[in-house]
Amino acid sequence: MEKIIAEPNDAMQKKSLEDFLLQKGIKFKTEDEYRLEKQKKAMKIFAQMVADSPKIDISDEEIDEIVEEVRLKRYEENNH
């Protein structure tokens, strides 16, 4: 569905427009409400991604050991 952006000149025009839209059964939200809704959706997607990601508990020492092993292997491969 297409969206329409309206910029009333003052609070009275804003109120009139809101009343008209309500009377016609047209859904509407303010720009702030729209941004907040988008942000909440993005946060929900991110939270789901975090929940679905594998949980790996590895220490810094283990990471350093793995990096060193890979470096040694590459060094050996490049020098033979």
Which domain covers residue 50, as residue numbers? 29-78
Residue 12 falls inside a structural domain: no
For 22-40, what is the mean pLDDT? 94
What's the number of domains the chain is made of?
Answer: 1
Q: Which two tokens stand for residue 13?
A: 């025009």
| Residue 34 near residue 27, CB atoms below 8 Å | no
Q: Is the dihedral of CA 49, 54, 59, 62 positive or negative?
A: negative
Question: Residue 67's pLDDT is what?
Answer: 92
Q: Would residue 48 count as lying in a domain?
A: yes
Position 37 scores a pLDDT of 94
Classify residue 43: in a domain, yes or no: yes
Q: How many CB atoms lie within 10 A of CB 20?
A: 11
Q: Is residue 7 domain-resident?
A: no
Stated pTM of the model:
0.52
Asked if residue 61 belongs to a domain, the reply is yes
Whether 10 is covered by a domain: the verdict is: no
